[in-house]
Structure 1
Amino acid sequence: MIVPSMAVQEIHNEVFEDIPNLRNKLTEYREDFRKTVLKASRYPLTKSYACKTKAMKNSFSIDFTAQKRSHWKSPILSIFGMYDRPEGKYAFSVSLDFNLITIYPPHFFQRFRERIAKNMTVSNENLIKDYFKNDWGFIAAVVNKDFESVYHNFEENNTDEKISFVAATSKGYCFGEKQGSVNIIKTIVSEEMLFGYQKHIFSELKHAFREANKDRYGFAV
């Protein structure tokens, strides 16, 4: 179980040690999703499953998505989870292919609430679920002076925060720090918040994100 005293690499190890305990559940959910897709008439279709592992007692949310009927054979799989610390609720997503996890602290979801969701009444848990709905990962670039300037423009009170990459996502643009096999996403800004030269410096990253999704999923986000 993830506990507040764990460092980020310990959380990574905990999650990946627990992944094998999801295998049987993934098979069960995949079969259920196949039946759901074949019965459906409208696409894309996403179905979520909640699972708490018996051995390590970690909670995971597993989303399957089919863009069209034939995708029942190879749905898009997304795995994420949540855990609590004294400062609030955290989330993590899992990238099985790259042995990575991405951690989203409470401050990130505060910014997502204010800047993207614009919903002050939804619970933190449902806000997190909303973020990961139709989340297609991200394409990142190393932070340069231009990106760093944009970050500090929108996060004036976090001048001491370390950031090492900027990323395009389906929800907006994120800034984060890479610590070994863990990405920590610090904040998010929307396309509408950018102006002038800021939009220009993000345009190449946005294009790369769309092209990557075309290659991986067959469509642009």
Structure 2
Amino acid sequence: MRSNAESPSPDTIAIVDDDQALRESLVWLLESVGLPTCSFCDGEQFLAAQHGGFGALLLDVRMPGMSGLQVQQQLVDQHSALPVIMMTGHGDVPMAIAALKNGAFDFIEKPFNHQQLIDVVQQALGSALQHHRVQQQHALLKERYQLLRPKEQRIVAHVAEGMTSREIAELMQISGKTVEVYRLRAMKAMGAANLAELVRQAVALELVPALSTTE
């Protein structure tokens, strides 16, 4: 188990529960399958720590002081992407459902089935890894777009709006051939293999709104 003062690794599981015996049991179980852990006796201690780098959070619903739902709400308010697995006792299922509606990854009832708990934690780690990859891809896409020349940026947006090369040329008062040159240059810089991919990238960058399925 890592010290609470250390920066967690991306596969570290945070455990928040006021029951010391249960915390120690969970630490032993998770570390027995190679998952590092960091445990906290209450929500306040967890929130005061460097909790942004954890891979997943096992969070007790009922605790003295801040409840699990209150801790989760704090994470929601902070726009945290940390997958939260609520730990519930008998009769706490309605609270767990409320947590799911507020974005929790899953909940698991005490007493735990060890394999079920490990499986849920592994799934949460996989979800966190996928989210991190998506964020990295978006950051790279944004960086590539910002490196484009201003006219290339405009053309990307106009293409995504559905304008033809002729319409873009008239709007920007340049030749159609110049539009094609800028568009191809932008596609190469953005890593877009075709126009459809360039449009998807523009939507991802919010240069144009995504089409509504109701329209």
Is the structural similarity TM-score above 0.5?
A: no
Higher helix share: 2
Give the TM-score category using the shorter length: under 0.3
Q: Tell me the TM-score normalized by structure 2.
A: 0.25
Give the strand-richer structure, 1 or 2.
1
Give the TM-score normalised by the residue count of structure 1: 0.25
Larger radius of gyration: 2
